[in-house]
Homo-oligomer: A and B are copies of this chain.
Amino acid sequence: MPLSKISATAPKAPGTPASDMLLRQFVGYRVKRANLLIQDDMAKTLEPFGLRTGTFSALAVVISNPGISQSDLSDVLNIKRSGVVVVVDELERAGVLKRKPVKGDRRTNALTVTAAGRRLWNKVEKAVQDHEAVLFSGLDLEEIATLHDLLARATKSPISDLEKEQ
């Protein structure tokens, strides 16, 4: 009941001070919470552009890999091909990208960005960059770079790749 009293006086605060101290010692939990915050904010940032995090990611990959197939997009984004269909449907319906036939293999679609899609990307890219700058304003530029680096190395370590293949 001392706990309920404190949280009653500060109901919106992210938990009573240190009430999840034990839990926060785990990196996994911190990453999970950070991810929730970031994804929520990303969703808000993308909504005015008619994008979700999934379609934003797909657009980014197609922009830098023109003509990529849906299977390869599936590999890059680490989602199943059936999930790619939904994302590509949505982007194609919005006029952002197109499925084009590939000569030599009639099974495959080559994904290409439309002119409108490229214009959209330029705006969205800037919006997300600005947004992240605000979200991470508690860190200076060097710290953000460090965070990048640490996450990249943590998620690319031989061990985690090895476990993924099991």
Decide: B132 and A28 in contact? CB cutoff 8 A: yes
In the complex, the answer to whether A71 meets B36 with C-beta atoms within 8 Å is no
What 0/1 pattern do residues 128 to 140 of A give for CB contact below 8 A with B? 1100101111110
Q: Judge whether B132 and A19 touch: CB under 8 Å.
A: no
- The one of B20, B53, B154 in contact with A135, judged by C-beta atoms closer than 8 angstroms, is B154
Of all chain B residues, which has the CB nearest A36? B78
**Which of B4, B138, B164 is in CB contact (< 8 Å) with A153?**
B138
What class of interface size applies to chain A in its complex with B?
35 or more
Q: Which of A128, A134, A152, A154 has the most CB of B within 10 A?
A: A154
Q: Is the CB of A72 within 8 A of B139?
A: no
Cβ–Cβ contact A28 & B38, under 8 A: yes
Query: Are A163 and B76 in contact (CB-based, < 8 A)?
Result: no
Find out whether the CB atom of A157 lies under 8 angstroms from the CB atom of B132.
Answer: no
- In the docked arrangement, what's the CA distance between A72 and B4, Å? 6
- Chain A: residues with CB nearer than 8 A to chain B? 1, 3-4, 7, 11-16, 19-24, 26-42, 44, 53, 57, 60-61, 63-65, 67-69, 71-72, 75-78, 102, 108, 128-129, 132, 134-139, 143-144, 146-148, 150-161, 163-165
